[in-house]
A and B are shown apart, each in its own frame.
Chain A
Amino acid sequence: MSNLLDLLIAGLATGAIYAIVAVGFTLLWQTSQTINFAQGEFVMLPAFLMLAAMHAGAPFWLAIIFGMLLSMLLLGLGFKMLLVDPMLRHGVLPLAIATMALAIGLKEAVKQFFSAEASPFPSIVPAGDISILGRQVALQSVGVLALAIAAVVGLTALLNRTSIGHQMQATAQNPVVARIIGIPVERMILLTFLINAFLVALASLLITPIYLAKFSSGEVLGQAAFIAAIVGGFNQVRGAIAGGLLIGVVDNLAAAYVSTQYRAAVPMVLLILIILLRPQGLLGRAEERTV
């Protein structure tokens, strides 16, 4: 039982990070039909940008700001202008393939310019345990969970409570009508790319202390985020959040109770079942078929 609680907290902590990544993923899909196969690499890269800043002598807080801003420039603005904009009108598939190539490019660039070895990364949450309900729980898990929840709550508030959020939702739901009623659609789309870049940088900051900074670490993360997005509902932000938390918990429980060899299979089986039984996802709306 006590073991179960630890597993649940650890699972929720990783799940919250998956959720952040998955939310960015669904935002890109909603506003600009981009299936970003490089999303995992997008999480991997900011940690290296921050490490590079620290190698240059910057203190940790400055490196974080530097990494966040640079990733918004490269993975937000640059990604949109150099890759998505020229390819969008050609349909979903060529763009998806181009992001696959981008994933290879990013991995190789980090391997070549930084290191092929895993590098340690400082945690923004101090080490140690705290006592919750009379139990010792790693401060790291709790801190990650708290920060991730704060980010998700902040984002949901932005989307649902502010005028900009409403404009973004309108853009996602129906760009033509949104443009007619005077919403600056282009700016809103750019904003979702910037938000995605911010979210992946945040996820990078939270997860890299746990899994180390490595050029190939994006593969697992990207897949987890895909699955979270689909399980929860591809067209819903809250679906992606639920999916992320679910996958995190299921993954941790599977590692403990199924077998370490087949732990990766459990989320996959879940994914196949969800797609077959409820393709719109747990919380998603059914998408209209375009025929």
Chain B
Amino acid sequence: MSALKRYWRVALGMVVIAALIIAPMYLNRYGLFILSQWAVMTIAATGLNLTLGYAGQVSLAQGAFVGIGAYAAAIMTANGMPLIAGLGVAIVLCFAIGWILGYPALRVQHHYLAFVTLAFSTLAFLVFRNESWLTNGIYGISNIPRPTILGYPTNRPLPFYYVCLGSLALVSLATWWLIRSPWGRAFVALRENPVRALSLGIDTRRYTLMAFAIGSALGGVAGTLYAPLTQYIDPVPFNLSLSLDLLMMVIVGGSGFFFGPFLGAMIAVLLPEWLRFTQGYYLMIYAVAVILLLIYSPTGILGILDRYLTERRTKAASALRAVAKSGLEPAP
């Protein structure tokens, strides 16, 4: 049974991947932009899912890290350096800042931590807006070039979509490997019971900082893709509401589930687009939908699926037990 289930799962995965590769060829410019945006936001939300979903540390600063990555990429490429250099700088910078931001997490938990990261997010926005010598302030940076990969320019929307999708695939593989490594297990131990984790000899201090740093670095990766995607950045998209949106994506999709951010980002990026026919009402409907979903299932969309599967498994198990029992009973 298990082999069959595995078979179906692999088949479903392949169909989704094939659809993500083939379907965009028939999309227009705007559709490609939205889909690329989905890939970029999924990367950022995956990072936050590591910090929040696996290591259990609330962060309201992921949007700021996307901003840091975007500015690093924009400033570097505008000065003639390749995007890959911007990516390197963004990762190192976000990793370091994320590490430092993790220090409050060692002292305070939960809502206090949320507010420290919220304050950081606002401070980062102020720096983007006010340090004009570096970021060009409210006028923003325009004409951000798209990269040339292996001699192949990605200026047109479709090739750049594949750059975003490829990056998402790489990030997903790395994350998949990470959460199955001893590190990922340590993150979960940290979330479930920090005291027990400590008593088992896990260096909770280092892993807390690491969870923040790696999650933030992925935010930076998303930012380096965001800048060439929009080709123009100013401080506004990186204000607090981006951090709140990313947090909502993780929770709505299902925090602590690997595919949670994929679904959450889909809802946050695509659902408003589908609802555009309702004109002014689309964000209202979106808000109501999120609230209703959370009331119905506080663990997000994948939480519903998980609950359903667990129920079925329990039912199957009790059915098996019943069969076994009835098989035993006739024997005197």
Nearest Cβ distance between residue A111 and chain B, in whole angstroms? Answer: 7
Q: Does any Cβ of A come within 8 Å of B247's Cβ?
A: yes
Known: A105-B287, A272-B104. A262 touches B298 (CB 8 A): no
Tell me if A264 and B122 are in contact (CB < 8 A): yes
Give residues of chain B (108-167) contacting chain A, Cβ–Cβ below 8 Å. 108-112, 114-116, 118-120, 122-123, 126, 129-130
- Which of B104, B112, B240, B294 touches A230 (beta carbons < 8 Å)? B112
Tell me if B126 and A92 are in contact (CB < 8 A): no
Q: Does any Cβ of A come within 8 Å of B76's Cβ?
A: no
Q: Which residues of B contact A289 (CB under 8 A)?
A: 109
Tell me if A268 and B119 are in contact (CB < 8 A): yes
Nearest Cβ distance between residue B236 and chain A, in whole angstroms? Answer: 12
Give residues of chain A (245-267) contacting chain B, Cβ–Cβ below 8 Å. 261-262, 264-265
Nearest Cβ distance between residue A275 and chain B, in whole angstroms? Answer: 5
Q: Does any Cβ of B come within 8 Å of A56's Cβ?
A: no
Q: Does any Cβ of A come within 8 Å of B301's Cβ?
A: no
Nearest Cβ distance between residue A63 and chain B, in whole angstroms? Answer: 25
Tell me if B130 and A101 are in contact (CB < 8 A): no
Tell me if B288 and A223 are in contact (CB < 8 A): no
Give residues of chain A (211-254) contacting chain B, Cβ–Cβ below 8 Å. 219, 223, 226-227, 230, 234
In this complex, the interface size class of chain A, counting residues with CB under 8 Å from chain B, is: 35 or more
Tell me if B120 and A276 are in contact (CB < 8 A): no
Q: Does any Cβ of A come within 8 Å of B281's Cβ?
A: yes
Q: Which residues of B contact A234 (CB under 8 A)?
A: 111-112
Report the bound CA distance from A119 to B122 in whole Å: 27
Nearest Cβ distance between residue B185 and chain A, in whole angstroms? Answer: 20
- Which of B122, B251, B284 touches A112 (beta carbons < 8 Å)? B284
B119 and chain A: residue at smallest CB distance? A268
Nearest Cβ distance between residue B16 and chain A, in whole angstroms? Answer: 26
Tell me if B294 and A223 are in contact (CB < 8 A): no
Q: Does any Cβ of A come within 8 Å of B201's Cβ?
A: no
Nearest Cβ distance between residue B21 and chain A, in whole angstroms? Answer: 33
Report the bound CA distance from A37 to B123 in whole Å: 19
Report the bound CA distance from A264 to B195 in whole Å: 38
Nearest Cβ distance between residue A72 and chain B, in whole angstroms? Answer: 21
Nearest Cβ distance between residue B133 and chain A, in whole angstroms? Answer: 13
Q: Which residues of B contact A108 (CB under 8 A)?
A: 280-281, 283-284, 287
Report the bound CA distance from A65 to B228 in whole Å: 53
Tell me if A101 and B290 are in contact (CB < 8 A): yes
Nearest Cβ distance between residue A281 and chain B, in whole angstroms? Answer: 10
Q: Which residues of B contact A111 (CB under 8 A)?
A: 280
Residue among B122, B283, B294 with the most chain A CB within 10 A?
B294
Report the bound CA distance from A109 to B280 in whole Å: 9
Q: Does any Cβ of A come within 8 Å of B171's Cβ?
A: no
Q: Which residues of A contact B248 (CB under 8 A)?
A: 97, 100-101
Q: Which residues of B contact A230 (CB under 8 A)?
A: 112, 115
Tell me if B108 and A279 are in contact (CB < 8 A): yes
Q: Which residues of A contact B195 (CB under 8 A)?
A: 291
A89 and chain B: residue at smallest CB distance? B298
Q: Does any Cβ of A come within 8 Å of B58's Cβ?
A: yes
Nearest Cβ distance between residue B113 and chain A, in whole angstroms? Answer: 8
Known: A268-B119, A276-B104. A94 touches B251 (CB 8 A): yes
Report the bound CA distance from A112 to B284 in whole Å: 9
Known: A86-B295, A264-B126, A271-B115. A276 touches B107 (CB 8 A): yes
Give residues of chain B (275-303) contacting chain A, Cβ–Cβ below 8 Å. 280-281, 283-284, 286-288, 290-291, 294-295, 298-299
Q: Which residues of B contact A276 (CB under 8 A)?
A: 104, 107-108, 116
Tell me if A265 and B123 are in contact (CB < 8 A): yes
Q: Which residues of B contact A94 (CB under 8 A)?
A: 251, 294, 298-299
Q: Does any Cβ of B come within 8 Å of A128's Cβ?
A: no
Q: Does any Cβ of B come within 8 Å of A83's Cβ?
A: yes
Report the bound CA distance from A203 to B58 in whole Å: 30
Q: Which residues of B contact A126 (CB under 8 A)?
A: none
14 further interface pairs, Cβ-Cβ under 8 Å (given A90-B298, A272-B120): A86-B295, A93-B58, A94-B299, A97-B290, A104-B286, A105-B287, A108-B280, A261-B130, A268-B119, A271-B119, A272-B116, A272-B119, A289-B109, A291-B195
Chain B interfacial positions (CB closer than 8 Å to A): 58, 104, 107-112, 114-116, 118-120, 122-123, 126, 129-130, 193-195, 240, 244, 247-248, 251-252, 280-281, 283-284, 286-288, 290-291, 294-295, 298-299
What are the 5 A-B residue pairs with the smallest beta carbon separation, nearest first? A105-B287, A94-B298, A90-B298, A101-B290, A268-B119
25 contacts between A and B (CB under 8 A): A87-B298, A94-B294, A97-B294, A98-B291, A100-B247, A101-B288, A102-B291, A104-B283, A105-B283, A105-B291, A109-B284, A111-B280, A112-B280, A112-B281, A223-B240, A230-B112, A261-B126, A265-B126, A271-B116, A271-B119, A272-B104, A272-B119, A275-B108, A276-B107, A289-B109
